[in-house]
Amino acid sequence: MAKLYFYYASMNAGKSTTLLQADFNYRERGMATMLWTAAIDGRAESHAIKSRIGLGADAHRYDAGTDLWDAVSRRHADEPLACVLIDEAQFLSSGQVWQCARLADEAEIPVLCYGLRTDFRGALFPGSATLLGIADSLVELKAVCHCGRKATMNLRVDAGGGAVIEGAQTEIGGNERYVALCRKHFREALGDPH
The residues that are catalytic are 88
Residues 6+ apart with CB under 8 A from 31: 82, 83
Name the residue type at position 178.
Y
Residue 182 exposure: Cα atoms within 13 Å on the Cβ side: 9
